[in-house]
Amino acid sequence: MRSGYSRILVSAALLGLLLVTTMSSSIANPPNDQRTIEQRVVELLADMTLAEKIGQMNQVNASDEDMPHHLQEAIKAGRVGSILNQVNVDTVNELQRIAVEESRLGIPLLVGRDVIHGFKTVMPIPLGQAATWNPDIVRAGAQVAAREAATTGINWTFAPMIDISRDPRWGRIAESLGEDPYLASELAVAMVEGFQGDDLTDAGTIAATAKHFAGYGASESGRDYATVNIPENELRNVYFPPFKAAVDAGVVSLMAAFSDLDGVPATGNRFLMRDVLRDEWNFSGFVVSDWDSVRQLAIHGLTANDKESVYEAVTAGVDMEMAGQSYVDHLEALVDEGRIDVAMIDAMVANILRAKFRLGLFENPYTDPKALPPIANEHALETARKAALQSAVLLKNDHGVLPLSAKKLNSVAVIGPLADAPYEQLGTWIFDGDRELSITPMHAIHSLVGHNVDVRYLRAMDNSRSRASKAFDEAAEMARGSDAVLLFLGEESILSGEAHSRADINLPGDQAELVRRIREAGKPVIAVILAGRPLTLTNIVDRVDAILFAWHPGTMGGPAIADLLFGIESPSGKLPVTFPRMVGQIPIYYSQKRTGKPPSPDTVVLIDDIDAHAPQLSTGMTAYHLDAGYTPLFPFAYGLSYAEFDYQRIRASAREIRPGDTIRISAELTNKGDVAADEIVQLYIRDLVGNVTRPVRELKGFKRLRLEPGQTVTVDFDLHTDDLAFAGRDMQLMTEPGEFHAWIGGSSETELRTEFRIIDSD
C-alpha cells in the first residue's frame, strides 16, 4: 500500500520538479538531455520502495582494505547510495558490480573521496593556488587531480572548499581560496570546471562538491568547528558568492558545514538549503552532510536525539548523510509517522539520482585505469610545477638580493627543517599524495646549480616545533662560511588543516632564534617559508633580506622554488589573504568597512608615543590598535617581482552610466625592469554611499599578464552595473545610483584611481 501511495506522490512531486528545472534558466541545470535524465529519474523513483530511497540517501565509509561482508550485503539490499574512502579500483569495481547486478534496481554507487589539491601528484594547497590568481592553472590542476583519482573508481570529490577565510588561525584556511568573495568565486568556478569537465560522462571527470555551506570559515577565534555568527547581509555579500558561482557553474553537490550558524547548525539550517539554495538559486544537484554532522545536531544541542536530528537535517534539505547511518535508522519511522512527507524524500532522492545519471554511471559504472592517462605523467608534473611557481609570493627583497646568481656565488648554505621534507611540502589533505614523487627544494637547488655552486645543507632543527637549539652553532658557522643563506622555515603539514588551528601564528619552535643566529653571520639571508596559512612574520621580517612565501607547494615545490631563487623565473604570486602584524589584529582584511572614525596615518599614536604627561589626550580617536596601528604586515594581493611594474593613466570610458550599462576602466602598465615577468593586474571599486555601508574597496577584476622588459600594455576591465550589485537592507541585490571610485594596480593598496557615477535611468 505504501508503495502505491508513494508512486502517486512521486509522479506529482517529480512533475513539479521537472517543471522547476526545465523552466529555470540557470546553467546549474544540466543542458540538452535534461528531459531524458528527468524522465529516467521519475521512472526509477516510481519503482523504488521507501527503504531503497532512504538507501540512496546513505553514504557509508568503505575505507577497510577488504570488503566487509556487511557492506556487500547492505549494497545488495539497496541500502547504500554512496561509499567514501575506498581507493582500490578492484574493490570499487566489485562494489559497483554488486550494486548494479545484485541489488533489485541496479543503481550504481557514488564513490567519494577528498581530492582536495591533487591525488598522487599534489598541487600547492588551495590557498597557494589562490595566490596564482590564475583560473587556467587552477582548472588544469583540478583536471589532473580528477584524472588521477578516477583511475581508482572515484567519481565524486569533496572539493572545492570555498569558505571565505579571514582568520589565519583557522587550520582550514589552507584548503580555502582566501579572503575575497570575487577571487574565490572565479577560482571556485575554475576548480569545478577542472573536476567536472564539459561532460561528466567523459572518462577522467568527477563530480565536485562546493563546501562547506555556509560560513564555516568564520569560526570564532579561528578554532575549528567553533560557533559562527554572521549577519544575513554579510552572508549574502561575502560568504555566499563563491557558492552561488559554483552552483551557476553546474557543481553537482554541496556539503553542509559542521558549524553552528547564528544558532542553527548548518546541517539543520532550512534558510541555507531550502530558502537560498533551492528557492533562490534553483540548485538541482544534491546536498551531502559533513562527516556524521547529522547526528552532531544533538551534540550541538539543537535536538534531543538522533531521530530528531534526522528530522531537522532532512527538512532542512540535506539529501545524503555522510557516514552517520541515522537516516537509515530513523527516516522510515518519520515518514510512517507522517512527520516527513514522502514527496520530500522523493525530491531529495531525485537530486541524488540525477547526479548518477549526469555521471553516466547507469551506462558504465566500472573503471578501467588503463583507459586513463598514467599517474604523475609529464603533463601532471608540469602542471604541479607551474602552479607552485605561480603561487609563491615574494614578500621582501631588499637591495635586489634575489635572484641569486649561480655565476657569482661560490657557495650557498641551505638550512632549515623544511628544505628537505618531501612529505611536509605536500600540505594538508593529501590522503593519496605520493611523497616519493616530491622533489624537495634542497634536491632541486642541487640539480639546478650544484655543478658550479657548493651547496651545503643542514637541517638545524628536527622539525619546525623543535626547541633544541644545539645545532644552531653549526648553522651559524655554515652561514658564515657561505656566500648566501637560504633558510627554509615555516610549519609542517600537520600544523594546518582540519582540527589543526593555532592561536599563535608565529613561526613555531625556535625558528626565530635560528634566524637571529644566522643573521649574526652577516651574510645575505633569504627566508623561504613553507606553511599552510599566513604567519605573523613581524619578529623575523627585519632580520632577513628576502622572504619568499611558498605555502605548501606540493610535489613540484622544489624545482619551482629553485627556479625562482635563481631567477629562471620571476615570482608572480600575490597574497589571497592579508598577513597581520600580530594575531590580535585578526580578522584583518582589505575590504573592511570604513567605520565612523576611519584611521589615517596622522591619527595614529602608538603605545610608545603616548604623551606621558597628558595620556588622556594622546590617541587619535580613530579605529586602530595602540600596539599595531591599523595596517597589516602585508596587504591582500601584495607580491613583489624581479621586474618593476609601473601603472599610469587610469581612465573610465564614461563619467556617467545608467543601470544596465557597461563601463570600461583601463590603465597603462609598463614593465620598467629588465626581465620578462607576469603581473597580476587588479581592479577595485568603492561604492561611496550605500543602502548598507560598503567596503572601502572591493575587487572586481584581475588579469595575469606577461610583459617583456620595456613593454607597455593597456589593460581594460569591463564592468556591468550588475557587477556592482550588493544585497541591501532587504537582502535583495541592488545597484544604486551614485558615486564610485575605481582603482587599477598591483595590490589592494594601489593609489591609481578614477571615478564614475551611476545615474537614474529616468
- Interaction site with ligand BGC (CB under 6 A): 114, 158, 211, 290-291, 498
683 C-beta neighbours (distance < 10 Å), count: 26
Distance CA 182, CA 168 (A): 19
For cell 603561487, the residue is 391
Question: Please, which residue, 114 or 491, has the CB nearer to ligand BGC?
Answer: 114
Question: Please, which residue, 226 or 541, has the CB nearer to ligand BGC?
Answer: 226
Q: Where are the beta strands (DSSP E) in 492-561?
A: 525-530, 546-549
Q: Where are the beta strands (DSSP E) in 507-553?
A: 525-530, 546-549
Question: Please, which residue, 63 or 447, has the CB nearer to ligand BGC?
Answer: 63
Query: What's the min distance (Å) between Cβ of 485 and ligand BGC?
Result: 39
Question: Please, which residue, 172 or 581, has the CB nearer to ligand BGC?
Answer: 172
Query: What's the min distance (Å) between Cβ of 83 and ligand BGC?
Result: 12
For cell 501511495, the residue is 5
Q: What is the 3-state secondary structure (H, E, C) of 232-297?
A: HHHHHHHHCHHHHHHHHCCCCEEEECCCEECCEEHHHCHHHHHHHHHHHCCCCCEEECCCCCCCHH
Degrees, nearest 5: CA angle 336-338-339: 115
Question: Quick one: how far is CA 469 from the chain centroid?
Answer: 36
Query: What's the min distance (Å) between Cβ of 514 and ligand BGC?
Result: 34
Size of the chain, expressed as the number of residues it contains: 762
Question: Please, which residue, 210 or 564, has the CB nearer to ligand BGC?
Answer: 210
Among residues 668, 129, 99, 107, the alpha carbon closest in space to that of 359 is found at 107
Question: Please, which residue, 321 or 678, has the CB nearer to ligand BGC?
Answer: 321
CA distances in angstroms from 505 to 72, 105, 509, 542, listed in the order given: 46, 53, 11, 18
Distance CA 345, CA 349 (A): 6
Question: Please, which residue, 290 or 432, has the CB nearer to ligand BGC?
Answer: 290
Question: Please, which residue, 158 or 243, has the CB nearer to ligand BGC?
Answer: 158
Q: How many CA atoms lie within 13 A of 14 on its CB side?
A: 23
For 470, residues 6+ apart whose C-beta sits below 8 A from its C-beta are: none
Query: What's the min distance (Å) between Cβ of 352 and ligand BGC?
Result: 17
Q: What share of the chain is helix, strand, coil (3-state, %, to 5)?
A: 35, 20, 45
Question: Please, which residue, 114 or 678, has the CB nearer to ligand BGC?
Answer: 114
Query: What's the min distance (Å) between Cβ of 62 and ligand BGC?
Result: 12
Amino acid letter, 183: L
Distance CA 121, CA 430 (A): 10
Question: Please, which residue, 6 or 209, has the CB nearer to ligand BGC?
Answer: 209
Question: Please, which residue, 290 or 679, has the CB nearer to ligand BGC?
Answer: 290
Query: What's the min distance (Å) between Cβ of 327 and ligand BGC?
Result: 17
Query: What's the min distance (Å) between Cβ of 87 and ligand BGC?
Result: 13
Helix (H, G, I), strand (E, B) or coil at 628: coil
Burial class (CB in 10 A: 0-12, 13-18, 19+), 506: middle
Query: What's the min distance (Å) between Cβ of 290 and ligand BGC?
Result: 5
Among residues 399, 432, 457, the alpha carbon closest in space to that of 123 is found at 432
Query: What's the min distance (Å) between Cβ of 114 and ligand BGC?
Result: 5
Question: Please, which residue, 86 or 671, has the CB nearer to ligand BGC?
Answer: 86
Distance CA 597, CA 629 (A): 14
For 666, residues 6+ apart whose C-beta sits below 8 A from its C-beta are: 650, 651, 653, 714, 715, 716, 717, 744
Where does residue 399 fall: left (phi above 0), alpha (psi -120 to 50 degrees), or beta otherwise?
Answer: left
Query: What's the min distance (Å) between Cβ of 175 and ligand BGC?
Result: 8
Where does residue 570 fall: left (phi above 0), alpha (psi -120 to 50 degrees), or beta otherwise?
Answer: beta
Query: What's the min distance (Å) between Cβ of 63 and ligand BGC?
Result: 10
Distance CA 122, CA 245 (A): 25
Cβ-closest position to ligand BGC: 158
Which residues belong to the active site? 290
Query: What's the min distance (Å) between Cβ of 498 and ligand BGC?
Result: 6
Strands 733-734 and 726-727: antiparallel
CA distances in angstroms from 383 to 186, 190, 386, 639, listed in the order given: 19, 15, 5, 22
Question: Please, which residue, 24 or 85, has the CB nearer to ligand BGC?
Answer: 85
CA distances in angstroms from 21 to 57, 72, 198, 276, listed in the order given: 21, 35, 20, 16
Query: What's the min distance (Å) between Cβ of 174 and ligand BGC?
Result: 12
Q: How many CA atoms lie within 13 A of 223 on its CB side?
A: 6
Amino acid letter, 426: L
Helix (H, G, I), strand (E, B) or coil at 231: coil
Burial class (CB in 10 A: 0-12, 13-18, 19+), 732: exposed
